[in-house]
Structure 1
Amino acid sequence: MSILVVGLSHRTAPVALLERVSVSGDALAKLLLDVRGEPTVSEAMVVSTCNRVEVYADVDRFHGAVTAVTDLLATHCGINQEQLTPHLYVQYEDRAVHHLFSVACGLDSMVVGEGQILGQIRVALKLAQDQGTVGSVLNELFQQALRVGKRAHADTAIDRAGASLVGVGLTLAERELGPISGKRALVVGAGSMSALSAATLVRSGVTDIVIANRTYDRAVRLAESVGGRAVRLTEIPAEIAEADIVISCTGAGSCLITDETVAGAMGRGRDLFLLDLALPHDVDPGVRALPGVTLVDLESMQQAGVADDIGDGGRAEAIAAVQTIVTEEVAAHLEAGRAARVTPTVVALRSKAAEVVDSEMGRLISRVPELEGRLRDEVAQTVRRVVDKLLHEPTVRVKRLASSPGGDQYAEALRELFNLDPQKPEAVSRMEVES
């Protein structure tokens, strides 16, 4: 089996298309289960964020799996394959592992180095575990990806090379409004992105924060955590009239904040900054035509390349350091994988040797019945020690050689020379005990 990635992101697709392929909730779970149900797929995961949708799968056939996953993405998103395919990327085996680790470190994010992707990967893994679509292969791979991402943030300055999307958005707000400390902010939504937005506002010195959400209790909990207050969605127009900054990130599927709402809330001579981090959009793009209103959304950030313009100190060095970490971790993962593949062969060899020792000891005892007690045990231990010493060097060497490119050939030669079957019940049972 091999790792396959099929996906699209802000690097390959316009935001308008990402908006259409965005999947969440029950639709995301259904896509996940349908991918896992394909005959070519043994395990599946889907990472779906505001700027990427990626399907990860452990597959036994490359072309068949790519076709099946592409078909499912198009079907679930209601998009013709002709529209979708030009924006897809496909990574396989080593490249797929490298891609995942790069994503986990924030190297592939719209804002390089942002840490939110780690939480999104963790959520994707939890969903796949809950739905039963992952096994040992993807579970171990994604656990390692999370460790690699944490290492990148702990060992390098990648955190300072780029802020989160919220941080970038607030930097742009300061360009328009001046210092935002002391300003009034409205956050629409109470999910993880909204919580991040509220926390970032607090760190920026904004103390007057209002949380609006469809589920009022969730708005209350988030508001209490940042010392703000909660309102219902019906109160948004009145709150916009008092706000300097509005951050919306619900992904409700329709515009919650229309140009009519904003126009009605604008007073003469005041400025309003809106940051729309939702896919699909929460804010009607038509608000840009209103005097005093600035709207920044994912599409405008993508087009302007603001992620590359902000916080550039040491950026190149930090990225290079993280790239080195990714290269090291990919090599370690592949080496461990190759070594693991030879383990069943080594266990089968030792199992066969144990069978031979037991058989020969049985013959010896039947031919020399007076060989009893301590003397018989000593003979058995001596024979086993001889066999262990004979097998030690070749098994150590085959494990070492298996971790090098083409190392599978050594295990294959061992199986051929000793007529080994790693799937025999005796070998499998022994491997379970030794592991």
Structure 2
Amino acid sequence: MSVLVVGVSHKTAPVAVLEELALTPEGVTKLVSEVAAIEHVSEATAIATCNRIEVYAEVDRFHGSVEEVSRLLCERSGMATSDITSELLPHLYVHYDDGAVSHLFHVAAGLDSMVVGEGQILGQTRDALRVGQELGTVGPALNSLFQQALRVGKRSHAETDIDRAAPSMVSAALEHAVAVVGSIEGARVVVVGAGAMASLAVSTASRRGAAEITVVNRTEGNAQRLADEYAARSLPLDSLGEALRTADVVISCTGATGVVIDAAELAAGRGDTLRPLAVLDLALPHDIDPAVADLPGVSLIDLRFLADSLRDSDAGREVSGVREIVAEEIAAFASARRQASVTPTVVALRTMATGVVDAEVERLLTRLPDLDETVRAELLQTVRRVADKLLHQPTVRVKQLADTDGAVSYAAALAELFALDPDAVTAVTRPVIAEERA
């Protein structure tokens, strides 16, 4: 079995394509369930963010699996069938086995993010694991992989200063806003939305000394809770025009499926003023009508703009440090997988040896019925020790050899040399899978 990744991200597709692929939580659940139902797939989950959608699957064959996963991902986009090949397939990427492990570790560490090193992806990776666990589509393979990926992400943030070297998307967007309106300190900021990204926007604006922060949301209670946390004010969505009238910076990140702020509404709210206004659209699909960029004094900063401006950025030494951690963890994970691959064969060999010892001792004891129990026990223990010592070095060595590069299957060689029953080797893994899923 091997891990397959099929996905699309800000690195391979324009924002317009990513918007077509944006999934609700229910959409993610349905996609994962459909992938798990594919014939050659045994485990599945997906990482879904505003910048990427990636399906992770444990498969028993590459061809067939990759086609089916790609098809389901395309169908989730909502594109017409005739448009899928031309518009989406060129942007998909595929990683397999060790390549899939490497990709996930880079993602969890923030090295594949639009803003290198941003920490939100770690929580989104954790969400992917949770979704798969709740659906029962994540088993021992993906559970082990994702747990290790989370460890890689935590190490990256704990052992380097990547957090400071690469700010969050909100911080990066606000840096561009400063060029439009001047310092955020003393500015009037309007945040549209009340989710995780909106919370980050409010906290960042507050930390940078905004004079007034207004939280606007369709659900007024959610807006009030977020506003209360940062001594801000809240307004219902139908009062958005009022908030826009005096704003210096507007940050929209609602996750809605349609435009939240259109050009006409913004123009009406601003009236005749030419005061500079920075409008940050951090939503996918986009919240703000692109036509607002044509209004006098208004500067639109959206995901497309951020992608272009951040593509070539590098956090320098800290990024190098994270890359070293990721490389180390990839090597360790691959080593553990290679050594684990021979474990069922080793267990089957020792089980066979135990069976042979027990049978031969039993045969001997039937011929020596007068032996007392102490001698019988000592005899059995001695013969078992002999078998263990004879098998110890070969089994240790086969694990060491399995951890070397090359095409030789030492587990297969061991099974062939000792004529192990293939069904006995396979059966060793079954209790482990059942136990880990419990």
Q: Same fold (TM over 0.5)?
A: yes
1:253 aligns with 2:257: yes
Aligned counterpart for 2:165 among listed residues 156, 161, 173 = 161
The structure-2 alpha-carbon separation of the partners of 1:99 and 1:349, relative to structure 1 and needing over 3 Å to count, comes to: same
Normalised by the size of structure 2, how large is the TM-score? Answer: 0.93
Residue of structure 1 in register with 2:383 after alignment: 383
Residue of structure 2 in register with 1:294 after alignment: 299
Sequence identity (%)? 53
Residue of structure 2 in register with 1:81 after alignment: 85
Contact 1:13/1:87 (CA < 8 Å) preserved in 2?
Answer: yes
Partners of 1:40 and 1:66 in 2: CA distance: 10
Partners of 1:372 and 1:296 in 2: CA distance: 88
| Counterpart AA for 1:71 | R
Contact 1:275/1:297 (CA < 8 Å) preserved in 2?
Answer: yes
Structure 2 alignment gaps of length 5 or more: none
SS in 2 for 1:255: coil
SS in 2 for 1:110: coil
Per-residue CA deviations over 1:277-300 (Å, capped at 9, x if unaligned) read 111110111111111111100012
| Counterpart AA for 1:325 | I
Residue of structure 2 in register with 1:276 after alignment: 281
Partners of 2:310 and 2:316 in 1: CA distance: 16
Partners of 2:361 and 2:37 in 1: CA distance: 50
Shift of 1:229: 2.3
Contact 1:347/1:427 (CA < 8 Å) preserved in 2?
Answer: no
Partners of 2:426 and 2:124 in 1: CA distance: 42
Partners of 1:394 and 1:434 in 2: CA distance: 28
Partners of 1:316 and 1:201 in 2: CA distance: 26
The structure-2 alpha-carbon separation of the partners of 1:224 and 1:62, relative to structure 1 and needing over 3 Å to count, comes to: same
Residue of structure 2 in register with 1:56 after alignment: 56
1:146 aligns with 2:150: yes
1:192 aligns with 2:196: yes
SS in 2 for 1:198: helix
Contact 1:71/1:81 (CA < 8 Å) preserved in 2?
Answer: no
Partners of 1:17 and 1:427 in 2: CA distance: 45
| Counterpart AA for 2:330 | V
Shift of 1:350: 0.8
Partners of 1:353 and 1:49 in 2: CA distance: 52
Per-residue CA deviations over 1:307-339 (Å, capped at 9, x if unaligned) read 645xx6xx2222222222211111111110111
Shift of 1:408: 5.9
Shift of 1:430: 11
Shift of 1:252: 0.5
Residue of structure 2 in register with 1:107 after alignment: 111
SS in 1 for 2:11: coil
Residue of structure 1 in register with 2:231 after alignment: 227
Partners of 1:130 and 1:434 in 2: CA distance: 17
| Counterpart AA for 1:78 | G
Residue of structure 2 in register with 1:333 after alignment: 333
SS in 1 for 2:64: helix
Shift of 1:42: 1.2
Per-residue CA deviations over 1:200-222 (Å, capped at 9, x if unaligned) read 11221225222222222222221
| Counterpart AA for 1:7 | G
Partners of 1:382 and 1:185 in 2: CA distance: 80
Partners of 1:234 and 1:434 in 2: CA distance: 53
Partners of 2:134 and 2:431 in 1: CA distance: 28
The structure-2 alpha-carbon separation of the partners of 1:55 and 1:237, relative to structure 1 and needing over 3 Å to count, comes to: same
Shift of 1:196: 1.3
The structure-2 alpha-carbon separation of the partners of 1:426 and 1:288, relative to structure 1 and needing over 3 Å to count, comes to: closer
1:183 aligns with 2:187: yes
1:20 aligns with 2:25: no
The structure-2 alpha-carbon separation of the partners of 1:81 and 1:173, relative to structure 1 and needing over 3 Å to count, comes to: same
Structure 1 alignment gaps of length 5 or more: none
Shift of 1:242: 2.5
SS in 2 for 1:58: strand
Residue range with higher mean Cα deviation, 315-324 or 378-387:
315-324
Partners of 1:244 and 1:14 in 2: CA distance: 28
Contact 2:251/2:279 (CA < 8 Å) preserved in 1?
Answer: yes
Residue range with higher mean Cα deviation, 46-55 or 400-409:
400-409
Residue range with higher mean Cα deviation, 397-406 or 138-147:
397-406
How many residues are aligned here?
A: 430
Partners of 2:334 and 2:426 in 1: CA distance: 28
Residue range with higher mean Cα deviation, 386-395 or 157-166:
157-166
Q: Considering only aligned residues, what root-mean-square deviation do their CA atoms show, in Å?
A: 2.1
Shift of 1:426: 11
Contact 2:344/2:425 (CA < 8 Å) preserved in 1?
Answer: no
